[in-house]
Amino acid sequence: MAEDGVPRALCAPKIVGGWRTNQYDAGRFGVYLAIPRRGRINFGIPRPVRDPRDQALGRGGTAATSRRPDPAKEGPLIGEWVAIMGEPSNGALAHELAAAGARFMAGVGKSTTMLVVADERPFSPGIGSSATYRKAEAMIGEGRDLRILSRSEARALIVP
């Protein structure tokens, strides 16, 4: 607060963000403080840095660190909607899968066709007990067309 010129204030905080379902799935908490005569100030969560490529194209978005890779126009994973667990959706594995045509989702949802766990089988108990993994298993139990794959199983789809 001192860095933003607020020596002290009495106000209501709003805690935002943050979660932790297991060692691979966690996010940071932040606090917004509505400072009288100053408005809302963000303490804790870094402000997003706009990517010039997004601005040039007239769309929102943050720096390349949060961009998912664009899918290739051809490849063995065309038509796959992938959620990655245990690695960022802009990491090395995501780039490999995108080069094969995969599209990425922020999490497991109705359109997801593949959950790729950035680990090898047998998965640790932490992975199996995560909300993302349990949701994928429940969707498979409901008859959805969804596969749960390890890193090497996903790579095998690219290069058999």
Q: Is 152 a domain residue?
A: yes
Please choose, from the candidates 65, 103, 57, 110, the residue with its C-alpha nearest in 3D space to the C-alpha of residue 84: 103
Comparison of pLDDT for 106 and 44, the residue scoring more: 106
Q: Are residues 81 and 147 in the same domain?
A: yes
Mean pLDDT over 31-48 rounds to 59
Q: What is the total count of domains within the chain? A: 2
Question: Considering the domain boundaries, does residue 140 fall inside one?
Answer: yes
Tokens of 90: 């802009």
pLDDT of residue 159: 83
57 occurs within a structural domain: no
Is residue 60 domain-resident?
no
What is the DSSP pairing of strand 81-85 with strand 147-150?
unpaired
- Indicate the pLDDT class of residue 102, thresholds 50, 70 and 90: very high
Range of the domain at 91: 68-158
Residues 22 and 94 in one domain: no
Whole-model pTM? Answer: 0.60
Tell me if 99 sits within 8 A of 72, measured CB to CB. Answer: yes
User: Does residue 133 register a pLDDT over 60?
Assistant: yes
| Residue 48, in any domain of the structure | no
Domain of residue 94, CATH code = 3.40.50.10190
74 and 147 assigned to the same domain: yes
Whether 39 is covered by a domain: the verdict is yes
